[in-house]
Amino acid sequence: MAPAAEIPKTPAKKPAKPRRSARVKAVEEIGRGYFAAISSRDPDAVTSFFSADGIDDIVPLGVFRGPAEIGETFRELFAALPDIEFTVTRVVADHDAAVVEWRLSGTFDGAAFQGIEPTGKRVELRGLDHLEVNEEGKVTRVTGYYDGADFARQIGMLPPQDSGADRAMRTGFNTVTKLRREIASRR
């Protein structure tokens, strides 16, 4: 029996990229513009992106309502890390939201931040912000995520991950938790 003829492989065509609407492009630009304002270290430029009742929910820190509270939070951040730099690494948008992946770097050598005195330590974080945008092109809500424990470790508030001090702290916590559970089961 003769071997089957080999069928030449044709390269698969890449599917056409869907065209983005003008609205999706505008929402993406709002996300990029918002981070350009943050990078400029100008709280007023940052708050200009928000609607009058806008909310900035920075998960590790709290919920800030309205341009005045949001602006004060950014003033405090910029004062605490005077050399802060944000780099946008990716933006994904649809007609009413943009998701912005970012990196932050700066030195915590300015003013206190969230009641924590500056330590002079360098900070490098990765984060993600989800921006909701209304029909007028204003941000109604930002939900921002970053690793608060990593921030605390980098400024020296928590011990380095997996260090002896970190393991001891975790062991102590687990011991207390087990004791509480044991005491509760005897009641």
Confidence tier at 56 by pLDDT (50, 70, 90): very high
Q: What is the pLDDT of residue 4?
A: 63
Q: What is the pLDDT of residue 109?
A: 98
Nearest to 127 by CA among 105, 110, 107: 105
Q: Is the pLDDT of residue 36 over 70?
A: yes
Q: Is there a domain that residue 4 lies in?
A: no
Whether residue 146 is found in the same domain as residue 61? yes
Could you give the percent of the chain with pLDDT greater than 70?
A: 91
Confidence tier at 127 by pLDDT (50, 70, 90): very high
The residues near 95 (Cβ < 8 Å, ≥ 6 apart) are 21, 23, 24, 27
The one-character DSSP state at 98 is E
Q: What is the pLDDT of residue 133?
A: 98
Give the Å distances, CA to CA, from 147 to 9, 52, 126, 144: 47, 29, 8, 10
Q: Is there a domain that residue 180 lies in?
A: yes
**Helices (runs of H) and strands (runs of E) counted in the chain:** 5, 6
Give the count of domains, the chain. Answer: 2
**pTM for this predicted structure:** 0.82
Q: Tell me the pairing of strands 97-108 and 85-93.
A: antiparallel
Whether residue 173 is found in the same domain as residue 106? no
Q: What is the pLDDT of residue 8?
A: 63
Q: What is the pLDDT of residue 19?
A: 76
More confident residue, 19 or 155: 155
Q: Is there a domain that residue 14 lies in?
A: no
Which range marks the domain in which residue 61 is found?
Answer: 22-156
Q: Which CATH number is 32's domain given?
A: 3.10.450.50
Q: Is the pLDDT of residue 180 over 90?
A: yes
Whether residue 84 is found in the same domain as residue 166? no
Whether residue 114 is found in the same domain as residue 150? yes
Q: Is there a domain that residue 50 lies in?
A: yes
Q: Is there a domain that residue 61 lies in?
A: yes
Whether residue 117 is found in the same domain as residue 146? yes
Q: How much is the average pLDDT of 91-96?
A: 97
Place of tokens 């997996």: 162
The one-letter amino acid at 21: S
Q: What is the pLDDT of residue 5?
A: 64
**d(C-alpha 187, C-alpha 180), whole Å:** 11
- Output the average pLDDT for the chain: 93
